[in-house]
Amino acid sequence: MRTLDQIYNSILERKATYPALAGLTSASKTAIWRTLFWCFAYLVWVHEQIFDTHKKEIGLMIENEKSHTARWYRMKSLAFQYGFSLQVDSDQFDNSNSTELLIANSKIVKYCAVTEALDQSRLIIKIATENGGILQPISDEQKTSFEFYISEIRDAGVQTNVINYLPDRLQLFFKIKRDPNVIDANGVSIIKGNEPVKEALQQFMKELPFNGELVLNKMVDKLQLIEGIINPHLVNVKTAWIDPDAGSYGGFENIEISKIPISGYFSIDWNNSIIEYVV
C-alpha cells in the first residue's frame, strides 16, 4: 500500500516527463500546481484505500466460507441461535417475523474455540457464554440444542465433541516485595485504597484470549508494572479442571511454564490462593 507522499512524488516524477509542464518550477508549497497535485494524490490514495479494504473483506469472506476448516466451525458456532429453527436444507436460521433484539439475544454462544483432537479424528468445540462480564457455560438444555445444531450442519463423517465446562480453577501463590510507602502489608494501596495486585491479575485473565495459553512469565510482567511493587516473585501456580466422567473438578496440578485451559478459560480461586507481601 502506497503512502500519500509516495503517490505525490510519483506524480512529480511523471510531471518531469511532459515538456509542456516545464514552466511549473515554483518551490512554494502553496503554489497552485502543487496544491492541485496534492489533491490528485489524495484522491488516488483514497481510491487505493477503498480497493485495499475491499480486497481484505473479500478475502475474509472467502476464508470464512471455506468448509472443512476449524475457522468455519467456529463461525457457525458463534452464529447459533437458541430458540430458532434452521431453514430446510440450510445452515441458516429462519429469522422471518423476528426482531434484531430477539436475534441478538438468541446468540448465546459468545466465545468459541475449535481444535482437532490429538489422539483421534474429532473436532473439539469449546464454548462459553457471558453474564455480567463473567464467562460461564451455557445451560444443559441450551447445550443439547447446540449439539443438535452442530450435528445438522457438520460435514458428513466429521465427529465433534462439545466442551461446555465450568472454568478451570487457578490457585496462585506469590511472595511480593512491596514499597511500604505505597502498598501496605495487606496489599492495599495507601492512597487509593484498592488492591492493585488482585486487580491486575483479574485484568490479566480478562485479556487472555478464549482458549488462549496462560504464560506465567507474562503474568509476572503484568505485576511488575504496578506502582509500589518492587519484585513480584511467583512461587507456584496450580490448576484443576472438570473431570467429565466424575462431573466434578479433579485434583490440582502444578503449571510449570504455561497452560491452555481445558474449558477454554480460567477462574482464580481466591479462597485457596496465597499472596504474601514482604518488605
Same domain, residue pair 134 and 175: no
Q: Indicate the number of domains in the chain.
A: 3
Same domain, residue pair 109 and 186: no
Q: Which of 36, 14, 33 is nearest to 24 (CA)?
A: 33
Q: Which of 158, 145, 138 is nearest to 264 (CA)?
A: 138
**Cα-to-chain-centroid distance, residue 202:** 16
Domain hosting residue 47, numbered range: 4-65
| pLDDT surpasses 60 at 64 | no
Name the H helices within the chain: 4-15, 32-65, 70-78, 100-106, 140-153, 196-207, 216-224
Residue 278 or 56, more confident: 278
Model confidence at 252, pLDDT cuts 50, 70, 90, reads very high
Q: Which of 194, 197, 188, 189 is nearest to 273 (CA)?
A: 197
Tens of pLDDT, residues 216-249? 999 999 999 999 999 999 999 999 998 877 778 9
Q: What is the pLDDT of residue 204?
A: 93
Which of these three, 65, 94, 110, is where a domain ends?
65
Same domain, residue pair 57 and 77: no
Greatest alpha-carbon span in the chain: 87
Model confidence at 33, pLDDT cuts 50, 70, 90, reads confident
Same domain, residue pair 100 and 8: no
As a whole number of Å, the end-to-end CA separation of the chain is: 54
Same domain, residue pair 175 and 272: yes
Angle between helices 216-224 and 196-207 (to 10 degrees): 140
Same domain, residue pair 49 and 87: no
